[in-house]
Amino acid sequence: MHQKRSKQASAFIALCAIVYFVSYITRNSYSSAISEITEALGTTKDVTGLVGTAAFLTYGIGQIICGVLGDYIAPRYMILMGVCATSVCNLSMPLMGGNITAMIVLWGINGFAQAMFWPPLVRLMAEHLSGKDYNDAVVAVTTASSVGNIFVYILSPICIAVSGWNLIFYVTGIAGFAMVAFWFLGTRTLPTPDAADDGQGHKKSGAAVQTVTEKVPLKKMMAASGLVVILCCIILQGMLRDGLTTWMPSLISDTFALPNAVSILTGVVLPLFAIVSIKASAMVQDRLHNEVLCAAIFFGIGFVCSVLMLPLFSRSVVLTVILMSLITACMHGVNLMLITRAPIHFARYGKISTMSGLLNAFTYIGSAASTYGFAWLSDRFGWYFTIGSWVVTAGAGMLLCMCLTKKWKKFTE
């Protein structure tokens, strides 16, 4: 029986990772080709950046809405709706004829569709997996998002070379519809809480079954956990993670005069570093047992790399790619701590999906600000000034996390 349950849990973790992989290729299909789209449409980076900004804003708003709904609606069906909607949006993008306004509206809808993935997925994993398996699952799912980025940043220049930027949306849309069938069939049977194993041969009722063990007013819970500070740190993390991911090809192209297809391929390096960072941050957390302290360490590494970029970024394309990859990788480590691991501590309040949605929503406030903001800064003041803003952002995140470390430890104990 133990072997059978282990296989069922493993299959479920794999399914969650695959659906999140698909969510990322359908989410980042636009950002992977943004430098080519900017050139093809003959516009500026801040104008095409508005399309991505719209998606980040609707995604952030959607995370809050879907986070609340995810505590009441069957998560399996919410994810299914999200996969269907994002597939339609991807397939429809080439039909917009390069009309920026229409693209903003459509990609904004896609942003909301993407919000239907994470909160219900966290609830599914928490309710159907043991504590140990849940931690393994969030690492697997987060890693899958990086693999999705690698895939889409390899696929994008190939599609551009074969048939232009429109092709990337057709490919990702078709992949999304394939996932609809795969998810529907794969989730007909899920591991039951009684079947989850704690890694020591003991049966356990899931990492976080939605049973309220404490009734605490929202304000008191926010004060005890330092939630406002955590949300600020998450915004800063989102600014660096998605801002650098979106505009790295443009920085490389502008600084070293490389073709767009070659510059886009440099984006493949980012998620490779992210995978290593995700594994590393999980190992650090297993030793420290404090998500906020772990986040402070990774913000600090990102701060050092940002400072080093100021004098070095224009000297070597390889060095620039490595430093930017390290910064974004560190932000993936922060993301794992504050957005995937932290919500489990709110399970006793019966709000795991709500908190997952809320925390993830604030990531995309930062993402939206940076997608437009970094483009605006680079167009008007150059990349040196833009990199200076990364130094300030990472430094602020490090200091805020350090100040919150003791309070968070007390809250989680």
* Lowest-pLDDT range of 91-100, 258-267, 305-314: 258-267
Strand partners, 197: 203
Query: Which of 166, 192, 158 shows the shortest CA–CA distance to 9?
Result: 192
Domains held by the chain: number: 1
* Contact status, residue 278 vs residue 333, Cβ threshold 8 Å: yes
Mean pLDDT of the 101-119 span:
93
User: pLDDT by residue (tens digit) across 276-334?
Assistant: 888 898 889 889 889 999 999 999 999 999 999 988 888 888 898 899 999 999 999 99
Q: Please write the tens of the pLDDT for every residue from 154-195.
A: 899 899 989 889 999 999 999 999 999 999 998 888 776 554
Structural domain harbouring 347: 15-189+216-412
The predicted structure's pLDDT at residue 365: 82
- For residue 75, being part of any structural domain is answered with yes
Q: What is the pLDDT of residue 401?
A: 96
DSSP state for residue 162 in the 8-state scheme: H
pLDDT, tens digit, 9 for 90 and up, residues 334-362: 998 998 888 878 777 766 777 878 888 88
Helix (H, G, I), strand (E, B), or coil: what is residue 127? helix
Asked, for residue 198, whether it belongs to a domain, the answer is no
Answer whether residue 53 shows pLDDT above 80: yes
Distance CA 233, CA 230 (A): 5
User: What is the C-alpha separation between 27 and 152, in angstroms, rounded?
Assistant: 10
Residue 265 predicted with pLDDT over 50: yes
Instruction: Output the pLDDT for position 217.
Output: 63
Mean predicted lDDT score pLDDT of the chain: 84
Task: Rank 65-69, 241-245, 387-391 by mean pLDDT and report only the highest.
Answer: 387-391
Report the alpha-carbon distance of residue 313 to residue 304 in Å, rounded: 14
Residue 235 is given by DSSP the state: H
Express as a percent the part of the chain with pLDDT over 70. Answer: 89
By residue count, the chain amounts to 413
User: Is the whole-model pTM more than 0.85?
Assistant: no
Q: Let me know if residue 272 belongs to a domain.
A: yes
Report d(CA 165, CA 149) in Å as an integer. Answer: 17
Which CATH number is 72's domain given? 1.20.1250.20
How far CA 42 is from CA of 45, 49, 99, 153, in Å, comes to: 10, 13, 12, 22
Q: Which residues, in sequence order, are bridge partners of residue 203?
A: 197
**Domain assignment present for 7:** no
User: Would 207 be classed as within a structural domain?
Assistant: no
Give the residue with greater pLDDT, 123 vs 294.
294
The predicted pLDDT at position 1 comes to 38
The answer to the question of residue 158 being in a domain is yes
Q: How far is residue 338's CA from residue 298's CA, in Å, rounded to a whole number?
A: 12
* pLDDT value of position 67: 82
Q: Which of 52, 90, 83 is nearest to 170 (CA)?
A: 90
